[in-house]
Amino acid sequence: MNKVFSLLIAIFSTFSTPFANANEGSEDYAFRPLSWYPLDELTSAEAEALPEFCSGKYRPVAITPRNNTSILIEADESIADKNGDAVFKGNVEFHQQDKKIISDQATWSQTQRSATFTGNVSIITPELVMSGDSAVINDSAQAEQKNAQVKHSEYSLPNAHMRGTAGTINSQGESFIQLIDSTYTFCEPGHNDWDIKASEINLDRESGIGSAWHTQLRIKEVPIMYLPYYRFPIDDRRMTGFLDPTFTINGEIQASEMSVPFYLNLHPQVDATITPKEILDHGLLWQGQVRHLTSIFGYGELNYSELKNDRSYLQEDGDTPRQDRWLINYQQRGDINENWHHRWVYNEISDNDYINDTKSSLGINRETHMPTRGEIYFDKSSWHFNVLGESYQTVDDTIALADRPYKRLPQLNLNFVPDSFSGLTGSMKSQATQFKRDNDKLTGTSAINGTRLVLDSSVSYTFEWPFAYITPKADYNIRQYQLQDVEQSLIDSGYDENPSVAIPKYSVDAGLFFERELEAFDSGYIQTLEPRIMHLQVPYYDQSDIPNFDSSALTFNASQLFRDYRFNGNDRIGDANHTTLGLTTRFLKDSNGTETFNASIGRIYYHEDRRVQLSSSTVSEVDSRKKSSDIIESTWNPYDQWRLYSMIEYGEAPKVVGEDSEHDILQKQFSIEYNDKLNHMANISLRENTSESIRQLDLGVFWALNDSWALIGSRKKDLWNYDSSDVKPVDPIIEALAGFEYQSCCWRAQVLYQEQSKRLTDDEDSADKTYSWLLRIELKGFASFGANPDDIMNQSIRGYSTRRYFDFESE
């Protein structure tokens, strides 16, 4: 309600300066009540921009402002006495700067410094329009004695698309307003779909707080909710109070989740929110959030949740039927000075199912590790330095202990990347890390902890012409280890506790540019042809005895073709002797240079086997091949609304014992997206990766049938053909959403049906599908009730974040 009442305050402190002479002249002024204009009185441009469910438009009042602060008075006739008292009759108009008061009659008392307006009174500013039977303004010399009163008034705020009524509006001083028997709504005149009615509303501009007595939320003027008293903010200052409640309904028409947040304004730099949340079959979850914003610590947010005596969750021993469950999250970021900064995050949960069980309305959790991290970093020009501490809580029991991430306590990075000079570029990167994890149940190299020093340097020079470029590059990579917790049996066999490697790396990257003009589809294009070749040479160094602290394999895709490394992380420097060939073509519109189509194809030719492996010294079958798979990738934008993307990896499939190897499609991805920026958006994509056993079909659609009605749907389906020994999902439908939206000029409703399947990682897991209804009612300009499906749709429907709401907030 602050949008309405914060603007009402300004009108009553307006007329406080001496009068001007009436002969200064005036402008013709056409005015309609509330500054509301029906469709037939709008311009064609205004009517076209208006959604079809609105029958008219508020227009901001166009008043030519006067340059000085004096008041210009005009009337058909006036009578004044020697004391300065005056009576004005017929088309009376008081005009000061960009504000006006119009009435049939007005009187002015010079001795009492007061004005009385009667008969068709209108008070007009660019932000507010008000009409009433009468108005009295007392312009006392002392600010605290200034007051005003308007009887039987009707007001509107054209810019905010809001209006209301009041039996009486009283102003006391310049900062306090009282509205008696008042209403407020976002709906158009004559369409009270909903409104707020209160017997008394007090607005204190000095404190920024309003209060309301005997308040009713009415639908079609029928009360459906009553509050005897409540307080609310009237400006940007925060205040303590309840926020919009939320709820979710399951497939059995039961409230699966209900919450009523309560906001606490503790300090200008500190606030908090306490949210009791009742979760069906589990119990009452208490959620607390504390936020701070200070010059020293920056922005920080602490979240704590606790569910006492969960009704459905068993303890690990199975003997105790209930368990206390909780979550702690803290995140912070800030600036120490111009160059020094810091950021922190801490996460811990009581059990691995906590997030799935307590946030079902926000989607299924797919994370396997919860990070805890702290970092202080320095950035200035070409220099970067940071000190980092990091650990993870693994929330997937099926991940083997040997595959869980190490703690980094600490890690120091110092990088120097100077600006390029006439094609010459270089960099120096150094890193020192202490790796640690619990190794009581681990053996061999998996049980080793230790320290690693990384020193990388590179230099390159680009020879560039309008039609070609050549970039030779040289790198030198050093790794030095000091290992701990090495088993005696390894030491006895000659295991090196302080290994080190120093590996050079050489590459040459070159490309050509060709272009031609052509005509196609009744348009002019510039087509480019861009062949590219890169040779990479990295000698082999045996690293099989070095623990793997942070290296992992890369998924083969188009961007990997021209990379100069085979592994993520720093523990494995992959040997290489290969040449990559690639070809790209683009079609650019001759008129504006936008890219309509591009396609690329590439392949790597290996001159030697890749002997460095992640966890052994045995060369895998894939790393002994003489060429890579072929990667084909393309993007086509036939029109502004359409985007088509495709990627195919075609090559030799992994060998099966006793069978000949065959060439097949190993990886593919297709997607079609449509978005006309007019609330019609749809996407369909198919993603398949045989090495990761993934085949998934995703669909999403938000389709406006007209300005009022829209259909909503999304679906993620698992299409993989599982073997009898594989862990299968509960249902191939991973997530599904279907429903509709309706909106009018003053309210919006969303009704959606949702299905979800939890992620299974073990045959012993038992996870039923969840079914729920998401209902949201938004009273535009006031509040929302129910769930918030927009978060889910942003993830499921590409382009949904660009949709139009017709809520007049941006106008």
User: How far is residue 186 CA from its own chain's centroid?
Assistant: 27
Strands 129-138 and 147-157: antiparallel
**What pLDDT does 16 receive?**
38
Full-model pTM: 0.79
d(CA 284, CA 255): 13
What residues pair up with 533 in beta bridges, in sequence order?
510, 581
**Tokens standing for 480?**
């030095």
Q: Which residue carries 């008075």 as its tokens? A: 73
**What pLDDT does 547 receive?**
92
Please say if the pLDDT value at position 761 is more than 80.
no
- 571, 551 contact by CB (below 8 A): yes
Q: How far apart are the first and last CA of the chain?
A: 19
Q: Judging by beta carbons within 10 Å of its beta carbon (0-12, 13-18, 19+), is residue 713 exposed, middle or buried?
A: buried
**What pLDDT does 23 receive?**
36
φ, ψ (nearest 5 deg) of residue 236: -80, -5
Lowest mean pLDDT segment, chosen from 20-34, 170-184, 263-277, 580-594: 20-34
**Tokens standing for 367?**
């994370």
Strands 241-242 and 246-250: unpaired
- 546, 499 contact by CB (below 8 A): yes
- Of the candidates 68, 41, 72, which has an alpha carbon nearest to the alpha carbon of residue 57? 41
pLDDT tens-digit series, residues 328-346: 999 999 999 999 999 999 9
- 413, 386 contact by CB (below 8 A): yes
Please name the residues in contact with 693: beta carbons below 8 A apart, sequence gap of 6 or more: 720, 726
Q: 659 pLDDT band (50/70/90 cuts)?
A: low
Q: 7 pLDDT band (50/70/90 cuts)?
A: very low
What integer is the mean pLDDT of 739-763? Answer: 82
Q: Say what percent of the chain tops pLDDT 90.
A: 44
d(CA 165, CA 130): 9
Please say if the pLDDT value at position 321 is more than 90.
no
* Local structure of 247: helix, strand or coil: strand
**In whole numbers, what is the pLDDT of the chain averaged over residues?**
85
What integer is the mean pLDDT of 587-610? Answer: 92
What residues pair up with 583 in beta bridges, in sequence order?
531, 601
d(CA 417, CA 429): 8
Q: 598 pLDDT band (50/70/90 cuts)?
A: very high
Lowest mean pLDDT segment, chosen from 210-219, 240-249, 462-471, 765-774: 765-774
What integer is the mean pLDDT of 448-472? Answer: 96
User: What is the DSSP-derived secondary structure letter of residue 466?
Assistant: T
- 255, 248 contact by CB (below 8 A): yes
Q: In angstroms, what CA-CA distances link 441 with 164, 404, 438?
A: 71, 13, 8
Q: Judging by beta carbons within 10 Å of its beta carbon (0-12, 13-18, 19+), is residue 601 exposed, middle or buried?
A: middle
> According to the per-residue pLDDT averaged within each range, which of 252-261, 527-536, 607-616, 646-655 is highest?
527-536
Conformation bin of residue 790: beta by default, left when phi > 0, alpha when psi is -120 to 50: alpha
Residue 462's Cβ-side half-sphere holds a number of Cα atoms within 13 Å equal to 14
**What pLDDT does 314 receive?**
61
Q: Say what percent of the chain tops pLDDT 70.
A: 89
Q: 767 pLDDT band (50/70/90 cuts)?
A: low
**What pLDDT does 24 receive?**
39
**What pLDDT does 32 receive?**
76
**What pLDDT does 319 receive?**
55
What integer is the mean pLDDT of 582-600? Answer: 92
Lowest mean pLDDT segment, chosen from 71-75, 282-286, 541-545, 561-565: 71-75
> According to the per-residue pLDDT averaged within each range, which of 218-227, 291-300, 383-392 is highest?
383-392
pLDDT tens-digit series, residues 278-315: 888 888 899 999 999 988 889 999 999 999 888 777 65
**Tokens standing for 665?**
């499609």
What integer is the mean pLDDT of 23-46? Answer: 70
What are the residue ranges of CATH 2.60.450.10 in the chain?
A: 2-171
pLDDT tens-digit series, residues 85-118: 889 999 998 887 888 888 999 998 877 778 899 9
What integer is the mean pLDDT of 756-770? Answer: 63
Instruction: Tell me the Cα Rg of the chain.
Output: 35
d(CA 782, CA 234): 13
d(CA 11, CA 299): 38
**What pLDDT does 1 receive?**
41
What integer is the mean pLDDT of 546-565? Answer: 90
Please say if the pLDDT value at position 2 is more than 60.
no
Long-range contacts of 303-312 (CB under 8 A, 24+ apart): 303/327, 303/328, 303/329, 303/330, 304/328, 304/329, 305/358, 307/279, 307/282, 307/283, 307/358, 308/283, 308/284, 309/283, 310/282, 310/283, 310/357, 311/281, 311/282, 311/283, 312/281, 312/282, 312/357
**What pLDDT does 26 receive?**
37
d(CA 535, CA 642): 37
How many other C-beta atoms are found inside a 10 Å radius of the C-beta of residue 467?
Answer: 10
- The answer, yes or no, to whether the previous bond of 410 is cis (omega within 30 of 0) is yes
What integer is the mean pLDDT of 654-669? Answer: 78
**What pLDDT does 131 receive?**
87
d(CA 152, CA 493): 98
In what helix (H) or strand (E) does residue 390 lie, and over which residues does it extend?
A: strand 383-394
**Tokens standing for 311?**
């009704």
d(CA 390, CA 327): 19
Q: 416 pLDDT band (50/70/90 cuts)?
A: very high
Type of residue at 468: A
What integer is the mean pLDDT of 714-726? Answer: 86
Please say if the pLDDT value at position 551 is more than 70.
yes
Q: In angstroms, what CA-CA distances link 309 with 145, 282, 285, 289, 313?
A: 60, 8, 10, 21, 9
**What pLDDT does 15 receive?**
38
> According to the per-residue pLDDT averaged within each range, which of 199-208, 537-546, 659-668 is highest?
537-546
- 511, 530 contact by CB (below 8 A): yes
- 377, 806 contact by CB (below 8 A): no
d(CA 758, CA 760): 6
What integer is the mean pLDDT of 744-759? Answer: 86
Q: Does domain 2-171 have CATH number 1.20.120.1630?
A: no
